[in-house]
Structure 1
Amino acid sequence: MSWLLDDFFMRALFGGLGIALIAGPLGCFIVWRRMAYFGETMAHAALLGIALSLLMDIFPIGGVFAVSLLIAGVLYWLERLDRLSTDTLLGILSHASLSIGLITLGFMTWLRIDIMSLLFGDILSISQQDIMIIWGGGALVLALLLSHWQSLLASTISPDIASAEGLPVTRANLLFIFLIALVIAVAMKLIGVLLITSLLIIPAATARQFSLSPESMAVMAAFIAALAVYIGLQSSLQWDSQPGPSIVLSAFSLFLISLAIGPAILKVIRKRSS
């Protein structure tokens, strides 16, 4: 296995597949909860996390994770004030955190920082250590997702009914935020803060065209995300395009295909299952 990771393409592929396996299922909850803008806000906050971690000389993933949780806490506090709608608050926090992050990085003249790689990712430069972090973090996300699947699903479908049945809705919502922050922290180097949300949302939206159950949608989303990573990396090598945007474009292409053939395939699946 170690000789495979000596090749930059194989390292990128292993890293991308590790992200795809967790982004797909978690993205389903983002789609079900209609929280795409929340995911984007958390992703933009990741740049501020990177800037602060460099400023304080701490591990970047820890900084990204901490700032993501902080932004989620600020959003929760502002929502309780009940002065502005949630989407307005998300827009404010999203652009403010991104701007503060960029300004902070701009003042750090003693460091050479590739802003483009932070914004759009640099999957071809990941190391074996990065792969270990990605797969380790991915294993943790999947373990938490599987062990709390029922409470997460119930709180997504109907929080009131879930509370009436004694399910820990508040804990499930906090866990959901924790998982998003963790995925963004481990995925940022691969696909960048501006594109992370697309890998969470597009495969899940594509899988929705073919799925009859939440579980099948989660599995299909992981497969579609992995396929988008593979096609995107191959396209990047073939046409010398940026890997991150190539992966997103591949995911978008699969989504367009699903719109065209999804209803027919879903009809066949329903006939076979009946």
Structure 2
Amino acid sequence: MLDDFLLRAALAGVGVALAAAPLGCFVIWRRMAYFGDATAHAALLGVALALSLDLPVFSGVLVVALAMAVIVAGLNGRNVSTDALLGVLAHGALAIGLVAVSLLPNQRVDLSAYLFGEILAVTRGDLAVIWGGAAISIGLLVWRWQALLSATLNPDLATASGLNPKREQLILTLALAVTVAFALKVVGALLIAAMLIIPAATARPFSRSPETMAITAAVIGMISTLGGLAASFAFDTPTGPSMVCVAAVLFATSTGMAAIFRR
């Protein structure tokens, strides 16, 4: 069954959607959209690190994503606003990654594959990495769901209940780093943040509880992935951007429907 490249692509996209969309709910609730974007942009620096050390790309991206989280946590509030810090780190890491990849000796790297994804070239090994990473990310969210939710909604009340909001923030950051690392192959560094944010934002108007929003976002993410794959096959368009386009259309539709229902 896995010899069919379209089937492998569909399985890879579904794996990314199942992990990224629920995680995107916390990104929206905590207003961490720019942080997710910065982590995704830093992924290209991880690619350069992995290629220079002859390591798997997943490991290089994961290391850089975790380093980004540690740097942001360490420098946050030290005479630099969070938005400015994330802007500098996001674009600085992207630029350094692009330069580093171009300087690699004896390496001819197709940057478009890392920037926009190469889902149609997913192998069986890539599927194992994607679904393994998705299992880790989803497992972290399920394991700490109530604690993460409490720390997100009211950090002071969470502290009074014996929880450590900083620890929950670290767990969320770890899940985000893992998701960025394994999603690179599917949608690329420039579009990972879109698959985190757009399905969750689409689900928000029609959800009455956090759990419903997470499940709805996962379904919307899978529809966007499969719809983008079908559109790419039908119209011969880039697959990763096509997925994001379908997600954007769903978001526009849901926003319009929500406005009509409110009236």
TM-score by length of 2: 0.97
Residue deviations 1:53-112, cap 9 Å, x none?
A: 11111121111111111111111121142x111000000000000011000001014111
Aligned to 1:271: none
TM-superposed CA distance for 1:45, in Å, is: 0.8
Residue deviations 1:98-140, cap 9 Å, x none?
A: 0110000010141111001110001000001111111111112
Q: Quick check: 1:189 aligned with 2:185?
A: yes
The code of the aligned residue for 1:193 comes to A
Contact 1:75 1:89 in 2 (8 A): yes
Counterpart pick for 2:243 among 242, 247, 250: 247
Q: Quick check: 1:60 aligned with 2:57?
A: yes
TM-superposed CA distance for 1:206, in Å, is: 0.2
Aligned to 1:256: 252
Structure 2 matches for 1:103-182, cutoff 5 A?
A: 103-182=99-178
Identity of aligned residues (%): 46
The count of corresponding residues between Structure 1 and Structure 2 is: 263
The code of the aligned residue for 2:121 comes to S
Aligned to 1:270: none
| Residues in 2 aligned to 1:174 and 1:194: alpha-carbon distance in whole angstroms | 23
The code of the aligned residue for 1:257 comes to T
Gaps of 5+ in 2: none
Runs of 4+ in structure 1 over 2 Å off: 262-267
Aligned to 1:221: 217
Residue deviations 1:166-213, cap 9 Å, x none?
A: 112121100010000000000001100000000000000000011000
TM-score by length of 1: 0.93
Residue deviations 1:37-57, cap 9 Å, x none?
A: 000000011100110111111
Aligned to 2:93: 97
| Residues in 1 aligned to 2:176 and 2:154: alpha-carbon distance in whole angstroms | 20
Contact 2:37 2:193 in 1 (8 A): yes
Gaps of 5+ in 1: 268-274
In structure 1, the residue corresponding to 2:55 is in which secondary structure? coil
Aligned to 1:51: 48
Q: What is the CA RMSD across the aligned residues, in angstroms?
A: 1.3
TM-superposed CA distance for 1:262, in Å, is: 2.9
Aligned to 1:75: 72
| Residues in 1 aligned to 2:133 and 2:190: alpha-carbon distance in whole angstroms | 21
Contact 1:17 1:229 in 2 (8 A): yes
The code of the aligned residue for 2:11 comes to F
